[in-house]
Amino acid sequence: MHLLTILAFACLLWRAETPPEFWLIPPDNAFGTSGAAVGLVGVIGLSAAAATWKARCNLRAVPGSFGPHSFHHRAMTGLRVLLIAGFATLVMGTAWPDWFAFGKRSPWLQIFGDLIVLSPFVLGSVSLWVAAFPFERDLRSQGEARAPGDDWSLWTYLDFHLRHQLLVVAVPMLLILFAANLTRGFDKQLIMWSGSVFAPEVALGGAAALVFVVSPVLLCRIWRTETLASGPVRDRLETLCGRINLRCRDILFWKSGGVMINAAVMGIFAPVRYVLLSDALLSGMTPGQVEAVFGHEAGHIRHRHIPHFLVFAFLGWVVVVSVMEGLARASLGPDPWLRLSLPMIEGAGLLVTGVFWGLGFGWVSRSFERQADLFGARCVAASAEDCHKPCSIHPDSGTTTNDPWRVCSAGALLFASALERVAELNGIPRDERSWRHGSIGHRVRFLVKAADDPGCVVRFEQSMVRVKRLIWAAAAIGGSAVAWYWLMVPQPAILVLQSGSQ
Ligand SMILES: [Zn+2]
Ligand SMILES: [Zn+2]
């Protein structure tokens, strides 16, 4: 759902940046206006109708090869894809966005038009949640009672999904869209004032970076959070923070109505960094397991995973612009050996983005998760007297080996039990694959192996150092090459193509 919301915003940005002849239906076409009307009714009406159909099917325990549970998930995924496809057609192919082009009057006002243009997507999403609600309520009533006493009404359900699925992405994206409207609307002034043709892009990049840095402050207000009350759990976590030298603004109690068994860390800089522990996580786990989960989140901070992801994202951008510029160059000139149009080059850029993130990001993310798991296991290492397992740190009850890389067997087991408890509470099968995290079973096996074989941990940590250096080196070299190219070449080929088609 987060991805779909990003796509919905991407449609708006695409439409604003792309010259009219590449719109699916040109603005002077008579179908533009009527198409917009038909499309609008289609997106909202169809999602409501499909949602009603889905709710009815669920009530009649669907016959077929798969049970109601997987029918529910497949139907919801399918309906969401239909919704975004309909919305994309509406925005990129009809006159719908033109009706609210308030930016022509003043760039400051365009954001209100954008909100109206986005409304069919929001209404469609809400109708899909309304349709999903009866089934999810039944599911919850059958499952373990996670938050006793709370009433699970349609409103609490919608409130949760609007905050956690939609607003969490939409609020930062709206801020970036607002900045994009301004840099586009005032581009001539910006270029004149700064003397650089890249001033609008640089200003937009700066605004996006600023939104990213302050987003933790936004997110802890979009979600329902409060300071974790003082007590044994908070004391234990604060002691751990002191021991591992972790600084953050606050530890937050994340209120989800008992829906989420989750922990998260957000923020690169300590003054805007928060660690969140959800209500169901705190009520469903032992204090030791909570400490292990907290240690995992702390591992992401201490190993600087967020800055590395940012550099990795920058590297992805370098790769994509290089490929697009290369294709544009090959398609220009009196006798080009490629004759690709601007949309085809944009399509190629999209494809490279997909491959880079799908394969590269998935692998890096799973490796970082394992590194955070090891850190979490080290955080909950037992003392020499309490460690009763065959352990490479505690060979006997009086000795502790001082090796920062080794993992205590008792700590690894406690951490593995926390992982398995998370899976159990979430109803995730042990071996279900996860693109970003890897399966729980795989992570547990890795921990057990790490506790048995200190050499394996050293090899893993050394390989992570190499991976991080490689990411930095590639980003630095690629980034310098792109900057050099932009300064040396009078006008990049992709800009020539863009201005040639206007
Ligand atoms: Zn993690
Ligand atoms: Zn031990």
pLDDT at 49: 75
Confidence band, pLDDT 50/70/90 cuts, at residue 374: very high
Residue 265 pairs in a beta bridge with 275
Considering the domain boundaries, does residue 496 fall inside one?
A: yes
Return the percentage of the chain with pLDDT > 90, whole number. 43
Name the residue range of residue 366's domain. Answer: 305-500
C-beta pairs of 496-500 under 8 Å, 24+ apart in sequence: 496/328, 496/332, 497/328, 497/331, 497/332, 497/342, 497/345, 498/19, 498/342
Co-location of 59 and 183 in the same domain: yes
DSSP sequence for 363-394: HHHHHHHHHHHHHHHHHTPPPTTT--S--SS-
pLDDT at 499: 73
Co-location of 183 and 319 in the same domain: no
Name the domain boundary from 134, 165, 194. 194
Q: Among the listed ranges 55-59, 153-157, 414-418, which one has the minimum average pLDDT value?
A: 55-59
Q: How remote is the CA of residue 404 from the centroid of ligand 2, in Å?
A: 13
Q: How remote is the CA of residue 488 from the centroid of ligand 2, in Å?
A: 59
Q: Please state, in angstroms and rounded to a whole number, the distance separating the CA atoms of residues 150 and 257.
A: 7
pLDDT at 66 over 60: no
Q: How remote is the CA of residue 459 from the centroid of ligand 1, in Å?
A: 21
Q: Which ligand is nearest to the CA of 306?
A: 1
Q: Which ligand is nearest to the CA of 434?
A: 1
Q: How remote is the CA of residue 495 from the centroid of ligand 1, in Å?
A: 40
Instruction: List all residues 6 or more positions away from 430 whose beta carbon is below 8 Å from its beta carbon.
Output: 420, 423, 439, 440, 441, 444
Q: How remote is the CA of residue 204 from the centroid of ligand 1, in Å?
A: 30
Q: Among the listed ranges 3-17, 161-175, 383-397, which one has the minimum average pLDDT value?
A: 383-397
pLDDT at 24: 61
pLDDT at 99: 84
CB 137 within 8 A of CB 153: no
Co-location of 190 and 334 in the same domain: no
Q: How remote is the CA of residue 298 from the centroid of ligand 1, in Å?
A: 9
Considering the domain boundaries, does residue 290 fall inside one?
A: no
Return the percentage of the chain with pLDDT > 70, whole number. 90
pLDDT at 500 over 60: yes
Q: Please state, in angstroms and rounded to a whole number, the distance separating the CA atoms of residues 212 and 181.
A: 18
Confidence band, pLDDT 50/70/90 cuts, at residue 501: low
Among residues 56, 125, 136, 53, the alpha carbon closest in space to that of 84 is found at 125
Q: Please state, in angstroms and rounded to a whole number, the distance separating the CA atoms of residues 122 and 166.
A: 8
CB 373 within 8 A of CB 444: no
Segment 468-491 mean pLDDT: 91
pLDDT at 32: 63
Q: Which ligand is nearest to the CA of 383?
A: 2
Neighbours of ion ligand 2 (CB under 5 A): 387, 391, 393-394, 408, 410
Co-location of 344 and 481 in the same domain: yes
pLDDT at 179: 94
Q: How remote is the CA of residue 122 from the centroid of ligand 1, in Å?
A: 30
Q: How remote is the CA of residue 295 from the centroid of ligand 2, in Å?
A: 17
The separation between CA 312 and the C-alpha centre of its own chain, rounded to angstroms, equals 14
Q: How remote is the CA of residue 86 from the centroid of ligand 1, in Å?
A: 34
pLDDT at 58: 62
Q: How remote is the CA of residue 145 from the centroid of ligand 1, in Å?
A: 26
Considering the domain boundaries, does residue 284 fall inside one?
A: no
pLDDT at 150: 56
Q: Please state, in angstroms and rounded to a whole number, the distance separating the CA atoms of residues 430 and 300.
A: 23
Q: How remote is the CA of residue 392 from the centroid of ligand 2, in Å?
A: 7
CA distances from 270 to 250, 295, 299 (A): 9, 16, 14
Q: Which ligand is nearest to the CA of 412?
A: 2
Q: How crowded is residue 468: how many other Cβ atoms within 10 Å of its Cβ?
A: 21
Co-location of 309 and 163 in the same domain: no
H/E run at residue 41: helix 31-59
Considering the domain boundaries, does residue 277 fall inside one?
A: no
Among residues 297, 298, 288, 233, the alpha carbon closest in space to that of 416 is found at 288
- pTM for the full predicted model: 0.82
Considering the domain boundaries, does residue 77 fall inside one?
A: yes
Co-location of 442 and 315 in the same domain: yes
Co-location of 167 and 33 in the same domain: yes
The chain-wide mean pLDDT, for the chain, equals 85
Segment 152-168 mean pLDDT: 89
Name the domain boundary from 194, 222, 254. 194
Considering the domain boundaries, does residue 257 fall inside one?
A: no
Co-location of 166 and 24 in the same domain: yes
pLDDT at 152 over 80: no
Q: Please state, in angstroms and rounded to a whole number, the distance separating the CA atoms of residues 341 and 24.
A: 15
Q: How crowded is residue 266: how many other Cβ atoms within 10 Å of its Cβ?
A: 20
Considering the domain boundaries, does residue 232 fall inside one?
A: no
Among residues 23, 11, 32, the alpha carbon closest in space to that of 95 is found at 32
Q: Which ligand is nearest to the CA of 397?
A: 2
**The total number of structural domains that make up the chain:** 2
314 or 493, higher pLDDT = 314
Q: How remote is the CA of residue 398 from the centroid of ligand 2, in Å?
A: 11
Q: Tell me which DSSP letter residue 268 carries.
A: S
Q: Please state, in angstroms and rounded to a whole number, the distance separating the CA atoms of residues 70 and 344.
A: 37
Q: How remote is the CA of residue 387 from the centroid of ligand 2, in Å?
A: 5
For the stretch 170-188, pLDDT in tens is 999 999 999 999 998 898 8
pLDDT at 268: 85
Q: How remote is the CA of residue 467 from the centroid of ligand 1, in Å?
A: 18
State both tokens at 77.
């995924």
Q: Please state, in angstroms and rounded to a whole number, the distance separating the CA atoms of residues 317 and 356.
A: 10
Considering the domain boundaries, does residue 319 fall inside one?
A: yes
Q: Which ligand is nearest to the CA of 376?
A: 1
For the stretch 453-468, pLDDT in tens is 888 999 999 999 999 9
Among residues 464, 432, 467, the alpha carbon closest in space to that of 450 is found at 464
